[in-house]
Amino acid sequence: MPALAIALCGVLITGCSGGGDDAKPQAKPPAEPKPLAAGALRPLLLSQADLGAGYVQVQEKPDSGKFDDVSVQGCSALEKLGQSGDETMFAAKAETSFTYRDATLGEELHSDRPSVLSSKLGKLFGAYTSCPTYTMTAGTTPIKVKVAKSATPQLGDEQFAYTSTMELPSGAQVLKTMAVCKGSVAVILVGAPALVDRQMKTAVGKLPAGS
């Protein structure tokens, strides 16, 4: 994690400094970019014009506890993550979603200090990829989930990705979750693997250079 690396470097510099006239004051690390507000994130979301023909934007309904009845069994890291959900929240968030034929594509933009994005996303994706299989219960329906790490494109400053296969009553559904950090903004796409792979470059391209 960047914060830990900076702290360790500080210890090494202090331990190796010779002192006396040859010792030089250490320059302070550059200040991190500040988080963007939610209002500044919304224009950076993907639009139908960005995605092209065939995509239909879904009108989001206000969050009314739609995930309150979802729980996880068989993966201690995810169970702990669910108990400490506030710890993985960021300073600002904006989201949208689309349908494309019979597939879906969801996008979330999160903003915070770069070191916070890196640390929390590393923890989040680390938890999801720590267990190759687990069971997710939605209401009273148990759903078996298989997870595998996925390759990531060389975009932004840092990337994370995994693919999950859910054994639903209607059949298996494969979803890919990918995050790319660029400055103080992280893009997360979730949906059909082909759509995520196809649109991530477009999503990252909408972020300002100094975000």
- pLDDT exceeds 60 at position 191: yes
- Which domains, and CATH codes, for the chain? 32-205 (3.40.1000.70)
Type of residue at 19: G
Span of 60-69, 124-133, 160-169 with lowest mean pLDDT = 60-69
pLDDT of residue 139: 78
Averaged pLDDT, 159-187 = 94
**Tokens of residue 4, six digits:** 């830990």
DSSP assignment string, 132-171: SEEEEEETTEEEEEEEEE----S-SSEEEEEEEEEEETTE
Q: Taking a C-beta distance cutoff of 8 angstroms, is the pair 206, 46 a contact?
A: yes
Q: Is residue 181 within a helix (H) or strand (E), and if so which, with residue range?
A: strand 171-182
How far CA 145 is from CA of 88, 157, 164, in Å, comes to 22, 29, 6
pTM, rounded to two decimals: 0.80
Q: Give me the chain's average pLDDT, please.
A: 82
The more confident residue out of 29 and 185 is 185
**Tokens of residue 33, six digits:** 């970019």
Residue matched to tokens 């960047």: 2
Question: CA angle at residue 38 from 59 to 210, to 5 degrees?
Answer: 120
The more confident residue out of 25 and 200 is 200
- pLDDT exceeds 60 at position 1: no
Within 10 Å of residue 11's Cβ, how many Cβ atoms?
Answer: 9
- pLDDT exceeds 90 at position 93: yes
pLDDT of residue 54: 94
- pLDDT exceeds 50 at position 6: no
Question: CA angle at residue 144 from 140 to 148, to 5 degrees?
Answer: 145
Exposure b/e, 33-47, CB count within 10 A at least 16 = b: eebbeeebbeebbbe
pLDDT of residue 95: 95
